[in-house]
Amino acid sequence: MKLRGFIPFGVGLLVALGGGWFAVPRAMYRRTEQPIQFSHKTHTSEKVGMSCQDCHSLSADGKFSGIPRLETCAPCHTEPQGKSAEEKRLVDEYVSKNREIPWLVYARQPENVYFSHAPHIKLAGIKCERCHGPHGSTGRLRSYEQNRISTYARDVEGYSLVKLNAADWQQGMKMNDCSHCHQQRGVQESCLTCHK
């Protein structure tokens, strides 16, 4: 008799847990498209031959200058390069009006975090893809996803909420992700290394 009541409860519990497992992460993030589409694949192709550092160069203090300013793009895009609607928008709405593109930054860290790319790239030899994913080979920008509660980008938080395997630790740029990588490489760290 008691078992009959337990079966619907158990099924209901499993359905609720399963629904929450898949629905909550999707509901937590607001998706926004970038202002224009951009192809890293085109720019890093053999024909064009650009590298990450051509647009995302290190500044004097070792931090990346971040997203390239319009002055980086404008010399090659005073006229549309091809016939795509996105290229036309780039020229018409931004280059010809000398207006910066309001890119949504996937990897923006909180204000209290100091991160320098220089030791990671130059000393440790870590490739851009380790933290930022395979952007150099993408033909389209993916949607920007922002956590509705923390306001951090999905790239900072990572795509795995539980991090059950080693590959999950290579996604995300939260403190635990950085500490995990440092531990793997035997790097000593202190709070003041990364926090202002």
Residue 181 has pLDDT above 70, yes or no: yes
Q: Which domain holds residue 177?
A: 30-67+103-194
Question: Residue 155 falls within a domain, yes or no?
Answer: yes
pTM of the model: 0.77
Better-scored residue on pLDDT, 137 or 61:
137
**Which pLDDT tens digit goes with each residue over 157-166?**
887 766 666 6
Q: 167 — phi, psi (to 5°)?
A: -65, -30
**Mean pLDDT across the stretch 111-134?**
86
Average pLDDT over the chain, rounded to an integer: 86
pLDDT at 89: 93
Question: Residue 19 falls within a domain, yes or no?
Answer: no
**Burial code of 118-134, b = ≥16 C-beta within 10 A, e = fewer?**
eebbeeeeeebeebebe
Residue 156, burial from CB neighbour count under 10 angstroms (0-12, 13-18, 19+) = buried
144 closest CA partner among 28, 31, 14, 15: 31
**Which pLDDT tens digit goes with each residue over 18-36?**
888 788 878 889 999 999 9
Residue 144 has which token pair?
């920007």
Question: Residue 95 falls within a domain, yes or no?
Answer: no
Question: Residue 171 falls within a domain, yes or no?
Answer: yes
**Mean pLDDT across the stretch 40-48?**
88
Contact 189, 179 (CB under 8 A): yes
Question: Residue 113 falls within a domain, yes or no?
Answer: yes
Question: Residue 72 falls within a domain, yes or no?
Answer: no
Q: Based on the structure, what is the number of domains in the chain?
A: 1
Question: Residue 164 falls within a domain, yes or no?
Answer: yes
Question: Residue 176 falls within a domain, yes or no?
Answer: yes
